[in-house]
Structure 1
Amino acid sequence: MGLRNVAAVAALALGLGTAALAQDDPVKVGFIYVGPVGDFGWSYQHDQGRLAVEATFGDAVETTFVESVPEGADAERVLRQMAQAGNDLIFTTSFGFMNPTLNVAKQFPDVKFEHATGYQRAENVSTYSSRFYEGRHVIGLIAGHMTESNIIGYIGAYPIPEVIRGINAAYLAAKSVNPEVEFRIVWANTWFDPALEADAAKTLIEQGADVLMQHTDSTAAMTIAEEEGIVAFGQASNMINFGPEAQLTAIIDEWTPYYIQRVQDVMDGTWESSDTWGGIGSGMVEFAEFSDKIPEDVQAEATAAIDAIVAGTLHPFTGPINKQDGSPWLAEGEVADDGTLLGMNFYVEGIEGVIPQ
């Protein structure tokens, strides 16, 4: 957990009072993960939130999880079993779990569901996500300064708006400090496959990339960066142990306060379906310690960007910005609205390649 949220979580835990602990039966909370909890990335970070729920509520809760569940029909089967097992609240933590979540929620109207990174709600289904693109802006600034080859490699999972937003945000930031920068993108078509992710990293390095970014879940790219003597950014979790020399910083997804609050809402009987899209300011997006390899002036610039995003004076998607084909998207000073960002399906001008269909 990042330092920013330690005090908040502690205060929340102290404020639980006797109401939560007076439950005759524990509140049952289930989690479904697309990868293994040992991926040290996306699923690992969600599971850290689950463990924090246990630590906060003690015997008042009972949590379970199922890991490495493929998106699709198998996810629906697992979710149905979770609901039948008596879970009061179920967190479904991957974009591709959206339709299975909605389908099962219809069959179990008394069970509450929370779907990460989705966009469809129901009376008993909430959505929650992080503004990962804010973090991508910051690491894009750093990458633009740090690259010597002017080629930044990016490993994407699936061509969904969440991933495309991150690529565009990182590219625009890198380009703003280094007009010569190029992005090379490899689509892995998986969230978690260390062998495939390692191959993608090697391919990008062969193409001249000396900085790696990723929107996939394993530590494979960081390990390759360490072996090859280049630099990279951790994804979803602090990956410093896998690249002590390679990691410049990492975007950390901090789910703990949200998970604790939503469990508390169930206990209090105040849970309602809602949309939550938090960012750096809310503490949902945090950063690992900056590497000493980043020059002090670049660290200062990155820190200033973080502060400006929190203050609301900087938005990563502020015009003028054109789409990849050169058509205008945002005019001078215009800021992208959330609806457009949530459905983003295009590259910005300057990025080469085609988004897979």
Structure 2
Amino acid sequence: MWALLLVEFGRMEVREYPDPEPGPGEVLVEVAFTGICGTDIHGFTGQNGRRVPGQVMGHETSGRVAALGDGLTGPAVGTPVTVNPVVVPAGDADQWRGREQQHPGKWVLGVRPDVVAAFAQRVVVPARNVVPLPDGMPLAHGALIEPMAVATHAVGRLALPDGPVLVAGGGPIGQSVVVALQQAGATSVLVSEPAATRREALERLGAIAIDPGAGSVAEQVRDLAGVPAVAAFDAVGNSASLAGCLTATRPGASVCLVGMATPTLDLPSFEISAQERSLVGSFAYSSVDFGLATQRLAATPASADALVSRTVPLAEAPDTFRSLAAGNDTPGKVLVAL
């Protein structure tokens, strides 16, 4: 099989690998599509320290069951599936259901360096992490379920009152948060995003796009919505984006921190204490969130289509990584067809 190898930071190559075989309790998946995540780009550049040269990355994926390991009777060969990449020990799966992302011994497909992950034509995963796609769901949409699970979990972290909701950052995760908010019933979503191409993509999703370079985000929210935001989601995760979320929300509002652009933040503390706002963290997702994201995305195919900017063949993936890392103007998700 062919796979995309991180040869060194800043350089990837398509290399031939032995075909993997599933062991007991494992499933072999013939990969169809794998999305390029922002963390993959950071791994490519060496920015986040969570990827190493010599590994095959990839965790946003879909495909078909190709073979079953010993002890398994399903899912049937040929079943369209996606993969939940957050893996907890088999003996802890029941106890940690609904909070797998908090397990201290978890590992993540595409992050663990000794596991050939989903930028490969075939991948072996535990059967408990294989999620069949709903009937009629396109395989390309299946590769969007993982980022949608991130957004679904984040939206579920807040109790959303009626009223306008602000999202800081209109990249792929911010766009996924927009869709997850709409799926949860939000009718007015505003997004602060400096890139014009992303603002256009956000408007196609039905959000109101705000240019933070045009003035105060808080003032623009009030001008456009008539009132401050009732809640906010920071899909960037730096000091400026979080400050914008805090000042643009009403007193007593909650702000969910989803993005992780920087490991430390400067907080406008009075905007939290004096205004009695709450700051809530959100990381990855549970298996429950993953299942909910699967069902909701299957029910909103137009939104899934709008999240994808383009699909490239595996042979073009090294150049695609280079261009994305250089900051080209791709507004949404890029899928690699394997």
TM-score range, shorter chain: 0.3 to 0.5
TM-score (norm 2): 0.36
TM-score (norm 1): 0.35
Q: Which protein has the bigger strand share?
A: 2
Q: Which protein has the bigger helix share?
A: 1
